[in-house]
């Protein structure tokens, strides 16, 4: 038995405290992004209440940016919802990665925890679970506390939105910067990079040809399908070649 | 002086303008967004924990985020206008390059956003 084990038992922080401590970098990241979103939303005609409601119910920054921009230019509800679905579909993978670690969590708590699965909370929780000493309570604390900070910072941004001249501080660029960073997080291997390049080029071509946002789904699905085919060819090749 | 805040010029969908209360149309959109966002988060935790997905599906799902993010960002950087046309060498594209490398180097979401915003603001002023 090592000393660290004994110490851990003596002053083990509560699961809640551990979660909050781990989530701290997420809070810091959410402040500028949330504020930028709130400001942009306010300048597009939405109230702090609208913003708070969306942030609480959806809790997905990139899709919220896109939705506000689409709604402000008159897009219909179904295209906003469809685009939201595609943009947020990646959470499916994150939850799938978390699922093995959450075997003995009550269904009710799982449902609450699910609400807070985001790129950022997933990165933190997945890392902690992989290290070995994380609990569903701490994961829940991470998820829900970051949701609270998100709601607060977006509403705060919406409140001060009218004070900020449009285009000041490069706020309009926050979404692009966020996407670039999220893309970087996804480039885990060569297949991801190739798929991304293919998808991007295809999307540009389609966007010039087809009006609306359908090009996003079409380009992504084609690129991902091509990438998957390439991967399975590779697998078969390795299996046969030995 | 409220310069630069032409709310009246913004093309806000008439049904979504508020007078203090959240409009029903807006609420329905948010509800729709919430449902389609929540289901992919919930399904694997509640349902798939016991079952294994076929490997081709796992591979495909693994590639989807990179594909979607790229399909979202690249057109934003190299096209503009209504109807869309190619625009190379706009500040938004030029700024994207150092921003991308910053993200690659630091892996910091908040930092990248702040750097991107700052560079874009500077580029806008200088160019």
How far apart are alpha carbons A172 and A178 in whole angstroms? 11
**pLDDT computed for residue A131 by the predictor:** 80
Mean pLDDT of chain B: 80
**pLDDT computed for residue B102 by the predictor:** 97
Q: Do A53 and B27 touch (CB under 8 A)?
A: yes
Within 8 A of B88 by CB-CB distance, chain A residues are: none
The pair of three-digit structure tokens given for residue A108, joined into one six-digit string: 């009710």
The answer, yes or no, to whether residue A15 has pLDDT greater than 80, is yes
The β-bridge partners of A178 are none
pLDDT band at A50; cut points 50, 70, 90:
very high
Q: Do B120 and A170 touch (CB under 8 A)?
A: yes
- DSSP state string for B59-97: HHHHHHHHHHHHHHHHHHHHEETTTTEE--S-HHHHHHH
End-to-end CA separation in angstroms for chain A: 44
**pLDDT computed for residue B7 by the predictor:** 38
**pLDDT computed for residue A161 by the predictor:** 87
- Cα distances from B33 to residues A34, A214, B11, in angstroms, run 18, 17, 21
Residue pair B65/B71 in contact (Cβ under 8 Å)? The answer is no
Cis peptide upstream of residue B83 (ω within 30 degrees of 0): yes
Within 8 A of A196 by CB-CB distance, chain B residues are: 66-67, 69-70
- DSSP state string for B26-40: HHHHHHHHHHHHHHH
Q: Which H, E and C letters describe A74-92, residue by residue?
A: CCCHHHHHHHHHHHHCCHH
Q: Do B11 and A92 touch (CB under 8 A)?
A: no
Q: Do B37 and A90 touch (CB under 8 A)?
A: no
Average pLDDT, integer, range A122-142:
88
Q: Do B112 and A191 touch (CB under 8 A)?
A: no
Mean pLDDT of chain A: 87
pLDDT band at B62; cut points 50, 70, 90:
confident
Tally A–B CB contacts below 8 A. 325
Within 8 A of A235 by CB-CB distance, chain B residues are: 55
Q: For the segment A65-94, what is each residue's pLDDT rounded down to a tens digit?
A: 989 988 988 888 998 998 899 888 888 878
Q: Is the pTM of this model over 0.80?
A: no
**pLDDT computed for residue B30 by the predictor:** 96
Closest residue of chain B to A77, computed from CA coordinates = B29
Which residue, B11, B101, B93, is CA-closest to A43? Answer: B11
pLDDT band at A242; cut points 50, 70, 90:
very low
**pLDDT computed for residue A222 by the predictor:** 93
**pLDDT computed for residue A28 by the predictor:** 83
Residue pair A26/A149 in contact (Cβ under 8 Å)? The answer is yes
**pLDDT computed for residue A94 by the predictor:** 84
Among the partner-chain residues B28, B56, B75, the one whose CB lies closest to the CB of A77 is: B28
The answer, yes or no, to whether residue B110 has pLDDT greater than 80, is yes
Average pLDDT, integer, range B57-66:
81
- Measured over the CA atoms of residue A152, residue A157, residue A158 and residue A160, the dihedral's sign is positive
Average pLDDT, integer, range B24-36:
94
Average pLDDT, integer, range A22-42:
89
Among the partner-chain residues A95, A119, A216, the one whose CB lies closest to the CB of B44 is: A95
């Amino acid at each position: 038995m090592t000393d660290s084990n004994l110490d851990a038992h003596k002053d083990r922080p509560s699961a809640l405290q551990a979660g909050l401590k781990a989530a701290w970098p997420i809070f810091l990241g959410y402040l500028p992004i949330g504020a930028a979103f709130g400001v942009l939303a306010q300048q597009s005609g939405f109230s702090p209440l609208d913003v708070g409601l969306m942030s609480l119910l959806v809790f997905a920054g990139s899709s919220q940016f896109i939705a506000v921009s689409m709604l402000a230019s008159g897009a219909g509800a179904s295209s906003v919802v469809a685009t939201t679905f595609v943009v947020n579909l990646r959470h499916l993978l994150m939850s799938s990665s978390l699922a093995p670690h959450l075997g003995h969590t009550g269904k009710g708590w799982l449902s609450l925890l699910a609400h807070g699965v985001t790129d950022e909370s997933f990165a933190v929780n997945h890392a902690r679970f992989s290290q070995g000493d994380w609990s569903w309570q701490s994961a829940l604390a991470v998820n829900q506390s970051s949701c609270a900070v998100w709601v607060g910072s977006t509403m705060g941004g919406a409140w001060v939105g009218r004070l900020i001249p449009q285009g000041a501080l490069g706020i309009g660029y926050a979404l692009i910067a966020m996407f670039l960073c999220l893309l970087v997080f996804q480039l885990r291997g060569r297949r991801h990079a190739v798929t991304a390049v293919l998808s991007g080029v295809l999307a540009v071509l389609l966007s010039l040809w087809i009006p609306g946002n359908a090009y996003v789904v079409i380009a992504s699905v084609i690129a991902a399908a091509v990438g998957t085919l390439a991967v399975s060819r590779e697998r078969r090749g390795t299996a046969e070649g030995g | 002086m409220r310069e630069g805040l032409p709310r009246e010029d913004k093309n806000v969908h008439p049904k979504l303008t508020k007078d203090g209360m959240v409009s029903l149309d807006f609420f329905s959109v948010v509800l729709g967004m919430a449902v389609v966002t929540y289901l992919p988060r919930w399904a694997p935790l509640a349902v798939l924990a016991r079952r294994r997905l076929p490997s081709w599906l796992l591979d495909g799902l693994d590639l989807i985020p990179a594909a979607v993010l790229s399909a979202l960002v690249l057109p934003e950087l190299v096209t503009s206008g209504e109807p869309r046309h190619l625009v190379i060498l706009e500040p938004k594209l030029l700024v994207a390059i150092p921003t991308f490398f910053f993200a690659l180097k630091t892996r910091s979401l908040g930092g990248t956003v702040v750097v991107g915003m700052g560079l874009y603001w500077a580029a806008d002023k200088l160019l």
